[in-house]
Amino acid sequence: MARKDPLRNMRFRLEIDGIQQAGFSEVAIGEVSTDAVDYREGNEANHVRKLSGLNKFGNITLKWGVTDSQELFNWHKQVVAGQLQQSRKQVAIIVVDESGADKARFVVSEAWPIKYDPSDLNAKGNEVFIEVLELANEGIERI
C-alpha cells in the first residue's frame, strides 16, 4: 500500500489571474469562519438553536524578496488611486509534492491589496530585503 505523507509547507507557487508568480518566500492563508447565531422561538424549551450567520474570509499575506519588478506594488497603487473594481483578481495558491505535482489548490476570489509594506533597511544586517502585500478577499476555497 502506498504511503500518504502530509504535504510540506515549503513547496508552493502562486497564480494571480492565471499568471504564475514566483519567488514568494511566505504565504499566509487566512482562516475561513462562519458566525453562529443564537435563535429561539417563544414556544420552545429553555435552550437556543444555533443558525449559521455570515461567512468570513481572512486576509492573505504574501512575502517575497525585492527585485526590480514593480508589478505587485503597482497593483496596490491602483487601489490607492481609487480603481478598486479593476483591481480585484483571482489568486490561486498551489501546494506541490516532492515530485513537483500539484496536490492542493486554494482559490481566493475577488482579492485586492489592502496593505503594502517594504521591510526596514539596516546597514548592519545581511538579510534579504522583503516586501509584504496583504490581500482582502471575498472567498477562499480549497479545490
Per the CB < 8 A criterion, the answer to whether 60 and 137 are in contact is yes
The rounded distance, in Å, linking the Cα atoms of 140 and 143 is 10
**Over the stretch 9-43, which tens digit does the pLDDT of each residue have?**
899 999 999 777 767 999 999 999 999 999 988 88
Helix runs in the chain, H state only: 71-80, 84-87
| pLDDT at residue 22, rounded to an integer | 65
State mean pLDDT over 45-66.
93
C-alpha cell of 130?
A: 522583503
91: cell is 489568486
C-alpha cell, 20: 504564475
Residue 62: per-residue pLDDT: 96
How many H-runs (helices) and E-runs (strands) does the chain carry?
Answer: 2, 10
Nearest to 54 by CA among 75, 39, 33: 33
Residue 132 has a pLDDT of 95
Amino acid 43: pLDDT: 80
What per-residue confidence (pLDDT) applies to 1? 78
Of 136, 138, 88, 100, which is closest to residue 115 (Cα–Cα)? 136
Question: What is the amino acid identity at position 98?
Answer: E
Residues 6+ apart with CB under 8 A from 70: none
Tell me the pLDDT tens digit for each residue of 81-99: 999 999 999 999 999 998 9
The mean pLDDT of 131-140, rounded to a whole number, is 96
| pTM exceeds 0.85, yes or no | yes
| Helix/strand/coil for 71 | helix
- CB 35: neighbour CB atoms within 10 A? 11
Q: Which domains are assigned to the chain?
A: 12-32+58-142 (2.30.110.20)
**Grid coordinates in use for 66?**
525585492
Share the mean pLDDT of the chain: 92
Confidence at residue 131, expressed as pLDDT on a 0 to 100 scale: 94
| Portion of the chain with pLDDT greater than 90, in percent | 74
